[in-house]
Chains A and B, each alone.
Chain A
Amino acid sequence: MNVWIAIGATALGCYAVKLLGLLVPAGVLERPLVQRLAALLPVALLAALTAQQTFAEGRALVPDARAAGLAAAAVALLLRAPFLVVVAAAVVVTAGLRALTG
């Protein structure tokens, strides 16, 4: 049930902000500070999520094979690899390391 509540809330909220952008008069969100904050908010969220999902196990910090996978993804990004290749690099390296280390 909790999962459905989360899905419903996310779906409603995400649709509402999409529609909001198409409906509001241009001037409202065009203030430089608002624009700047909107551009930086995903940077903060994505950085925190990347770090947490790489190093966290529940509420503890447990570095494991995922860190090597993420490093592989970073290398792929530096080499300008396509999106899918970046994700695949992380998955393959993580799985490989787990297979080797048991």
Chain B
Amino acid sequence: MYRSGSGKPDAAVVRDALGVGVAVGLSGFAFGVTSAGSGLNLLQTCALSLLVFTGASQFALVGALAAGGNPFTAAAGAFFLGVRNAFYGLRLSQLLALPRAVRPFAAQWVIDETTAVALAQPTRRSVRIGFTVTGLSLYVLWNLTTLLGAVGAQAIGDTRAWGLDAAGPAVFLALLAPMLRTATERAVAGAAVVLGLGLLPVLPAGVPVLAAALAAPVVLFLEGRRPAAAARGVQVDAPRRADGEQGGDR
């Protein structure tokens, strides 16, 4: 884990963390505007950022509610998007080594950005600094900009005329793009698009997204039936291969 020498200066870790925290924190503005445009009031919009605090789930929820989905279908879509945070937490808990009593407080900050910053650090000290500074700056800014966005949306009236209904899908695309590394991911994405659009006219609002999620196990199953699949860089299998490659983190 450790780089040669004494690792990274604290100031450099703080700078990296603030860079991510500020840049992504500002995009809470887009959420505030989108949420208000979807018909949620100020209190509801702010409650989502304070209590849910995982961007994709928040956008998905307000989108599903705006489309007329029932609350549980809408919440299910948001929940399934949030499941990835459990796997971030798993990796982070090994790196952060937090006392059990602190974990319930740290949990709210276990999201894409804090994980990305923390995993990039060379020592436990810098992992902890990176996680805390990213989490704190992002949480504070995300909630502030959510409030500003929601207030601003009410002030400007018709959010569609300002093109703000395009913010949600653009956020999703920006989150999705770095995940499309291999043919498997692209196949899952393609199948999900077909399912999500194809089922839209025939299933109740919110359900087509859940049905599209089935693209993941289906593609995984089909891939598993192909003999070449094991050879094609399934990352988590790497440490088990006999070619002497040390597994490491990635």
Contact = CB atoms under 8 A, between A and B. Distances in A.
A14 B52 contact: yes
Nearest to A21: B89
B160 interface: yes
A37 B217 contact: yes
Contacts of B116: none
Nearest to B203: A59
Majority secondary structure of chain B interface residues (helix, strand, loop or mixed) = helix
B66 to A, nearest CB: 9
Interface of A: 2-7, 9-11, 13-15, 17-24, 26, 29-30, 32-33, 35-56, 58-61, 65-66, 69-70, 73-74, 77, 82-84, 86-87, 89-99
B169 A53 contact: yes
Interface string B38-70: 001000100110011110111111010101101
Contacts of B237: 32
B110 A21 contact: yes
A11 B173 contact: no
Contacts of B196: 47-49, 51-52
B238 to A, nearest CB: 10
A98 B94 CA distance: 50
B244 interface: no
Contact of A7 (B51, B63, B100, B107): B51
Interface stretch (B8-16, B79-87, B121-129, B136-144): B79-87
B164 A91 contact: yes
Contacts of B219: 40
A44 B191 contact: yes
B155 interface: no
Contacts of A86: 170, 173-174
B171 interface: yes
B179 A48 contact: no
A65 to B, nearest CB: 7
A19 to B, nearest CB: 4
Interface in B158-188: 160-177, 179-180, 184-185, 188
B215 interface: yes
Nearest to A31: B236
B54 to A, nearest CB: 6
A11 B170 contact: no
Contact of B24 (A2, A51, A83, A91): A83
B197 A22 contact: no
